[in-house]
């Protein structure tokens, strides 16, 4: 396995939680990282793009904080352009930005349904679409979308969140075929267990999770780093769970 020295990674949704852990791990493996999300100033939920970029730089890595709202095509295109201007190109994309809504369909407000689809699905579409020409220009690369094991939990019902993530898996599985001749690996990745992130806590989750069901965010960092090293000759067109790629901690 090679490291990510000389590679550039764009991580969407990196101001906190799993995205921040992935950004740190990619930087540790040698990539220059664009830390992309909306939060530039500390607010109700902890975490900013500047603080994550600073942590990477303090640890000896390369990073730039890039303001980005994945629901806005204009914002995404500006963030991608800033990254290319700063680091000269893009090799790896991690489409991690996400919002959680686990309420049953019959009590889901339309605006929550639309928010899930806008951030979790359209956001992946916009980030991926804007980045593809830059990966092509480098002769290949790796696209990673963060999904969830909830996609498979049909016996537990339905909600806007799982529906949005299922659509992302269909999007990426088909895209792997479309981009194979461009030497671009396309994979989905989810935690095998629950990661107790700021977002999870803010959404009211976490209180009744037994310790054995909790996964450290670093596992997603290591798994994303492994997928970031792929091109179309390696792992592509797959839906991965973190602990099938890296040992359980």
Active-site amino acid positions: 161
Contact 179, 197 (CB under 8 A): no
Site map for ligand NAP, 103-132, x if CB under 6 A?
----------------x-------------
CB atoms within 10 A of CB 142: 28
Integer-rounded Cα Rg, in Å, for the chain is: 17
Minimum Å gap between C-beta 152 and ligand NAP is 12
Q: Give 39 or 240: the residue with its C-beta nearer to ligand NAP.
A: 39
Cβ-closest position to ligand NAP: 199
Minimum Å gap between C-beta 48 and ligand NAP is 7
Contact 64, 82 (CB under 8 A): yes
200 touching ligand NAP, by CB under 6 A: yes
Residues between 24 and 63 with contacts to ligand NAP, criterion CB under 6 A: 37-39
Please report the DSSP string for 28-84 in residue order.
HTT-EEEEEES--S--SS---HHHHHHHHHHTT-EEEEEE--TT-HHHHHHHHHHHH
Residue 7, classified by CB atoms within 10 Å of its CB into exposed (0-12), middle (13-18) or buried (19+), is: buried
Site map for ligand NAP, 72-101, x if CB under 6 A?
------------------------xxxx--
Minimum Å gap between C-beta 155 and ligand NAP is 18
For binding to ligand NAP (CB under 6 A), which residues are involved?
Answer: 12-19, 37-39, 68-71, 96-99, 119, 146, 148, 190-191, 194-195, 197-200
């Amino acid at each position: 396995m090679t490291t990510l020295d000389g590679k550039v990674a764009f991580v969407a949704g990196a101001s906190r939680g799993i995205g921040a852990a992935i950004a740190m791990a990619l930087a540790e493996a040698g990539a220059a990282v664009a830390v992309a999300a909306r939060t530039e100033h500390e607010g109700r939920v902890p975490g900013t793009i500047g603080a994550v970029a600073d942590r990477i730089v303090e640890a000896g890595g390369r990073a730039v904080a890039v303001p980005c709202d994945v629901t806005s095509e204009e914002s995404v295109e500006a963030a991608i352009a800033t990254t290319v201007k700063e680091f000269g190109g893009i090799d790896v994309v991690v489409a991690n930005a996400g919002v959680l809504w686990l309420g049953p369909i019959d009590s889901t407000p339309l605006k929550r349904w639309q928010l899930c689809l806008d951030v979790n699905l359209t956001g992946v579409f916009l980030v991926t679409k804007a980045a593809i020409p830059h990966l092509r220009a480098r002769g290949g690369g790796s696209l990673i979308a963060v999904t969830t094991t909830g996609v498979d939990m049909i016996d537990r019902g339905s909600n806007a969140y799982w529906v949005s993530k299922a659509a992302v898996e269909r999007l990426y599985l088909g895209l792997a075929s479309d981009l194979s001749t461009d030497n671009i690996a396309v994979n989905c990745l989810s935690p095998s267990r629950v990661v107790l992130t700021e977002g999870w806590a803010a959404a009211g989750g976490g209180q009744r999770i037994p310790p054995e069901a909790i996964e450290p965010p670093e596992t997603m960092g290591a798994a994303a780093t492994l997928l970031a090293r792929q091109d179309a000759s390696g792992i592509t067109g797959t839906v991965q769970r973190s602990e099938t790629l890296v040992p359980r901690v």
